[in-house]
Structure formats: structure tokens, C-alpha cells
Amino acid sequence: MSEMVKQNKIEGILAEFPDPAALISAAEKMRDAGYKKFDCHSPFPIHGMDKAMGLKRSPLGWIVGSAALFGTSAALGLQWWTSTVDYRLVISGKPFFSFQAYVPVTFALGVLLSAFAALIAMLVLNGLPRLHHPIFYSDRFAKSSDDGFFISIEGDDPKFDIEKTKAFLESIGGTNSEILKET
């Protein structure tokens, strides 16, 4: 294998772990060893993994909150402008700006924009959609969406070193470790 290594850029190392508990304790050891660009892959989210990996809370709430604020104010603005400025009609003697009647549409558009923001911002924060990723060079990785638990380390992590990192992953319980490179 090592002849091939010279030809293609090494993108990272992938190692497999037996179950969620092993993955979470390995993540803690990775964090404590000072690795930064590593990720823990599992078929479902594992409770407590953010803390084990030392990750900060997702900023998604702020993004969606801003979208909601924008959606509601745009909706209220639209209703105010159309019925008091651009198209004034007296309907059942109600005031032009009958804000009580504008609540349902304001709420609905706030929700609509938030829903789009939640999905789109989640994808953008995750760097998706993405057609390819070096991790898919691995054949074993297909298991990660089935019943496999993996840790990947990217080649540009400051602490990355093929031999040492690989040995470290094996020392914390990783098996079937493989080097990710174009084949």
C-alpha cells in the first residue's frame, strides 16, 4: 500500500469502532490528545457526543431566529403597505390597518421563512450539498449509515502524522484503520 501513498495525496485516516460507547470514549481521547479536524460518524446521533468531541453549540438557532424576524416583519409590512397605502379599501367598516386580522398571515410567513432557513442553513453549515468527499474513498465507510461507527481525521489537521495518528487510533480501540486517498 505504501507505494501508492506516494502517488496520491493523503486525505486522512479512518478507523472503525464497535459501538456508540467505544466511539464516545475514543472521541474524548482524540479531543484530549489535541486533534482538531476529526469527526465521529454514526448511523444516528449519539447523545453526549458534542461534549466528548469538544464541539460548540450550533449557531443555527440565531440564523433561524433572524429569518423568523425577517419573515414576520416582511409579512406585516406587506399587509400594512397594501391595505393602507397602495390599495385602500374599506371592508366591513374596519380600519385600514386592522392588525388583529393580519396575525395569521404574519405568523404563517414567519414560519415559512424559518422552515426554509432551518433546512438551508443546516445544509450550508454542514458544507452540503456536496458531490464528493475523500471519506467516500473508503469501502468500509458505507457501513456508517448502517451499523458502523467510525472516526475520521483529516490530513490537514496540525497533529496529523500517518504513522503516529494511525497508531493512536488503534491504541484507543480503532480497528480496520485505513488511509483515505484517491484510488
Partner 1 sequence: MSKGITDSGIIPGGEAPLIEKNPTFGSITEEISRITERKTPGVWYLALGAAVSLMFVLFGSIGYLVFEGVGIWGLNNPVGWGWAIINFVWWVGIGHAGTLISAILFLLRQRWRTSINRFAEAMTLFAVSCALIFPAIHVGRIWVVYWMFPVPNQMSMWPNFRSPLLWDVFAVSTYFTASLLFWYTGLIPDLATFRDRAKTKIRKIVFGFLSLGWRGGNRQWKHYELAYLILAGISTPLVLSVHSVVSTDFAISILPGWHTTIFPPYFVAGAIFSGFAMVVTLTIIARKLFHLEHIITVSHLEKMNKIMLLTGMMVGYAYSMEFFIAWYSGNIYEQFVFINRAFGQYAWAYWIMISCNVLIPQMFWFKKLRRSIPVMFIASILINVGMWFERFVIVVTSLAQDFLPSSWDYYSPTIWDISTFVGSFGLFFTLFLLFIRFLPMISMSEVKGVLPQADPHHAGGDRHE
Q: Which of 79, 138, 165, 177 binds partner 1 (CB under 8 A)?
A: 79
Cβ nearer to partner 1, comparing 10 with 60: 60
Among 6, 130, 163, 183, binds partner 1 (CB under 8 A): 130
Give the list of residues 6+ apart from residue 37 with CB closer than 8 angstroms, or none.
Answer: 153, 154, 156, 157, 160
According to the binding rule CB under 8 A, does residue 119 interact with partner 1? yes
User: Is residue 131 near partner 1 by the rule CB under 8 A?
Assistant: yes
Q: Does 4 bind partner 1 (CB under 8 A)?
A: no
Minimum CB separation of residue 3 from partner 1 in Å reads 29
Distance CA 42, CA 163 (A): 25
List, as one string, the DSSP characters of 103-159: HHHHHHHHHHHHHHHHHHHHHHHTT-S-S--GGGG-SGGGGGGTT-EEEEEETTSTT
- Given candidates 9, 32, 133, 175, which one binds partner 1 under the rule CB under 8 A? 133
105 sits near partner 1 (criterion: CB under 8 A):
yes
Radius of gyration from C-alpha coordinates of the chain = 25
- Number of residues near partner 1 (by CB under 8 A): 73
Helices 60-81 & 99-125 angle (0-180, nearest 10): 150
Our finding on whether 111 is near partner 1 (CB under 8 A) is yes
Whether 30 and 12 have beta carbons less than 8 Å apart is answered as no
- Kindly identify the residues of this chain, within the stretch 29-58, that bind partner 1 according to CB under 8 A: 39-50, 53, 55, 57-58
